A and B are shown apart, each in its own frame.
Chain A
Amino acid sequence: MKILVAVKRVIDYNVQIRVKEDGSGVNTDNVKMSTNPPDDNAVEEAIKLKESGKAKEIVAVTIGEEKAQETVRKALAVGADRGIHIKSDNYIEPLGIAKILKKIVKKEKPDLVFLGKQSIDDDCNQTGQMLAAMLNWPQGTFASKIEQKDKVIEVTREVDEGLETIQINLPAVITCDLRLNEPRFASLPNIMKARKKPIEQLNAKDFGVDISNRVHQIKVEEPPKRKGGIKVASVAELVNKLKNEAKVI
């Protein structure tokens, strides 16, 4: 079995983001960047399938600027076999990303495509589902447990009401929840070894698909600030305020 894992470079989840004063976006200059957190879970799950003998090859792919390659390099350092970097200096919407990934899938012919359930920058939660639809493949979104059984895969999904289990045919797209596994760290020797693993370089504009953006960003602003509250001195005062001032209990 062959697995394709898609990873994305985003502002590190520990960074308090800053909105640019001119409203044109969020400041990314001199800001720590990392792999989108659930994409690490996607990579980890692929490695686990390889370790259990079920997968033979893992290909990590990213789309983005020159430095986005770091996310592929990180995937190689923890166990992916080779990488693909599709260069684009401009933001591409999930629809365009899915179109490019579809072309990669047609060429690489993986049995499974793993992605993070959502990226923590634009919070769209679309790419995996869009890719699955374009391929007419089934999907397992928000996966917190997967179990491969011959030509099908059982996926436990984190849904609003609790958990849902579905069975989907291979090939399939799976979007990974943070709860799926505990991503490993790369050891220094493996980081060194990963430098020798191949990364194929391609360019987004050579794919012959329409990646023009259809949703134009007019303005980015800070969310309205909450008015500062007060500190209360005791539990009795708190209950009194909730009862008689806020009138919520």
Chain B
Amino acid sequence: MSILLIAEHNNSNLKVFTLNTITAASQIDKEIHVLVAGNKSESVVKEVAAIPLVKKILHCDSPTYENFLPENLTPLIVKISENYSHIVASANTFGKNFMPRVSALLDISQISDVIKINSSDEFLRPIYAGNAFSTVKSIDKKKCITIRPTSFNPAPTTGGSASTEKIEPVNVPNISKFIKREETKSERPELGTARVVISGGRGMQSGENFKLINSIADKLNAAVGASRAAVDAGYIGNDHQVGQTGKVVVPELYIAVGISGAIQHLAGMKESKVIVAINKDGEAPIFSVADYGLEADLFEALPQFLDELNKLNTIQK
């Protein structure tokens, strides 16, 4: 057995979720080979080589792969897949985009969003937005798997010395073209990887009122999230959405403000280590998952919260 793992990066840096996916892969088999396909992506190769769990790097550098178009990546992965028992990627918008294409061309039934590795062919995955867990066994000879990164710890990043093999690009179909990427710029940590997340819901009543959330986020060095209701009401952009239709987050501290706790929101945050709920409706479902619940009007509670934080001598960052 050996694993082909597809690295996610931006041609300069490795994306952190790849580290979580490497940890998951190491529970299947120790022979992990990482494909770095990109353009002028040497610095990514260096980063990957230092990861002790990685045995070998396959580096394919070409303008073709600069923007990771799935139509272009797929033929490359399919071509090098022959000697591997498992093809693995992160279950985020990167891995979700190309892995089913790879699976289809190899006639493999993909296993999406794995949260636990039972054995080399048996896995646990959430279904119904995490309201049920399904244990599945693959009978395909080769497995195509995407890993939910937040269910595994990131792999150590220093001390490794993996060898690198340069591989040639393959012909691309020329049916798609990258136009642009508009990354959400923020001074705050990224929602998916932040240690603390504070989210607002419909209870915030307006986008303007999110400044109450923002000032606490600044104090705690937290990422700002939102429920789908708040996004749909136009209070805040969709890239802040936490939930089944947004991002799944697993921070050390999650603070839900004015969020009732619809199933779809809970699916995105209920694995957080410590959950705080602030809501004036004491019956709101969010309290059933909260470690600390405060039944209060958020417009009074949030300024007090900031005052109390200001009184503290030290705050973890």
Against B, the Cβ 8 Å flags (1 = close, 0 = not) of A192-231 are 0000000000000000000001111111111100101111
**Contact between chains at A242 and B253 (CB < 8 Å):** yes
**Contact between chains at A123 and B128 (CB < 8 Å):** yes
| Chain B residue contacts of A144, Cβ below 8 A | 238
Number of residues of chain A lying within 8 A (CB) of chain B:
78
**Contact between chains at B136 and A239 (CB < 8 Å):** no
Q: How far is A124 from B145 in the complex, measured between Cα atoms in Å?
A: 11
Q: Interface stretch among B40-48, B55-63, B176-184?
A: B176-184
Asked if A188 is at the interface (CB within 8 A of a chain B CB), the reply is no
**Contact between chains at B126 and A230 (CB < 8 Å):** no
Against B, the Cβ 8 Å flags (1 = close, 0 = not) of A87-131 are 000000111001000000000000000000000111111111111
Partner of A121, one of B128, B263, B305, B312: B128
**Contact between chains at B71 and A238 (CB < 8 Å):** no
Main secondary structure of the interface of A (DSSP, over half): mixed
Chain B's closest residue to A141 (CB) is B97
Contacts A160-B92, A214-B139; is A249 near B130 (CB within 8 Å)? no
**Contact between chains at B305 and A238 (CB < 8 Å):** yes
Q: How far is A222 from B98 in the complex, measured between Cα atoms in Å?
A: 30
| Chain A residue contacts of B239, Cβ below 8 A | 161-162
**Contact between chains at A249 and B135 (CB < 8 Å):** no
**Contact between chains at B100 and A238 (CB < 8 Å):** no
Asked if A139 is at the interface (CB within 8 A of a chain B CB), the reply is yes
Asked if B294 is at the interface (CB within 8 A of a chain A CB), the reply is yes
The residue in B110, B139, B315 that gathers the most chain A C-beta atoms within 10 A of its C-beta is: B110
Asked if B133 is at the interface (CB within 8 A of a chain A CB), the reply is yes
**Contact between chains at B100 and A126 (CB < 8 Å):** yes
Asked if A181 is at the interface (CB within 8 A of a chain B CB), the reply is no
**Contact between chains at A132 and B176 (CB < 8 Å):** no
Q: Smallest Cβ distance from A112 to chain B, in angstroms?
A: 14
Q: How far is A178 from B263 in the complex, measured between Cα atoms in Å?
A: 16
Q: Smallest Cβ distance from A120 to chain B, in angstroms?
A: 6
Q: Interface stretch among A56-64, A77-85, A166-174?
A: A166-174
| Chain A residue contacts of B96, Cβ below 8 A | 125, 129, 141
| Chain B residue contacts of A164, Cβ below 8 A | 178, 180-182
Within 8 A of A (CB), among B87-127: 92-94, 96-105, 107-113, 122, 125-127
Asked if B9 is at the interface (CB within 8 A of a chain A CB), the reply is no
Contacts A139-B71, A166-B176; is A218 near B136 (CB within 8 Å)? yes
**Contact between chains at A218 and B126 (CB < 8 Å):** no
**Contact between chains at B104 and A17 (CB < 8 Å):** no
**Contact between chains at B110 and A216 (CB < 8 Å):** no
| Chain B residue contacts of A238, Cβ below 8 A | 276, 292, 294, 305, 308
Main secondary structure of the interface of B (DSSP, over half): mixed
Partner of B70, one of A129, A216, A229, A249: A129
Q: How far is A213 from B34 in the complex, measured between Cα atoms in Å?
A: 29
Contacts A120-B244, A126-B103; is A242 near B276 (CB within 8 Å)? yes
Q: Smallest Cβ distance from B286 to chain A, in angstroms?
A: 11
Q: How far is A138 from B70 in the complex, measured between Cα atoms in Å?
A: 8
**Contact between chains at B238 and A158 (CB < 8 Å):** yes
Within 8 A of A (CB), among B8-46: none
Partner of B126, one of A93, A123, A219, A248: A123
Within 8 A of A (CB), among B220-267: 220, 238-239, 244-245, 247, 252-253, 263-264
**Contact between chains at B137 and A239 (CB < 8 Å):** no
Within 8 A of B (CB), among A1-42: 11, 13, 16-17, 19, 26
Within 8 A of A (CB), among B196-212: 196
Contacts A138-B175, A235-B296; is A219 near B135 (CB within 8 Å)? yes
**Contact between chains at B308 and A239 (CB < 8 Å):** yes
Q: How far is A122 from B130 in the complex, measured between Cα atoms in Å?
A: 10
**Contact between chains at B182 and A163 (CB < 8 Å):** yes
Q: How far is A167 from B92 in the complex, measured between Cα atoms in Å?
A: 21
**Contact between chains at A220 and B108 (CB < 8 Å):** no
**Contact between chains at A218 and B130 (CB < 8 Å):** no
Which 3 residue pairs spanning A and B have beta carbons closest together? A129-B100, A133-B101, A130-B104
Other 19 A-B pairs with CB < 8 A, given A139-B97, A163-B182, A239-B308: A94-B110, A123-B127, A125-B112, A129-B96, A138-B175, A139-B70, A157-B93, A162-B182, A166-B176, A178-B245, A214-B138, A215-B109, A230-B292, A235-B305, A238-B294, A238-B308, A241-B292, A246-B253, A249-B253
- Could you name 8 residue pairs across A and B whose Cβ atoms are closer than 8 Å? A95-B110, A139-B176, A141-B97, A166-B69, A167-B179, A215-B138, A231-B287, A235-B294
Residues of B that sit less than 8 Å from A by CB: 69-71, 74, 92-94, 96-105, 107-113, 122, 125-140, 173, 175-184, 192, 196, 220, 238-239, 244-245, 247, 252-253, 263-264, 270, 273-276, 282, 287-296, 301, 304-305, 308-309, 312, 315-316
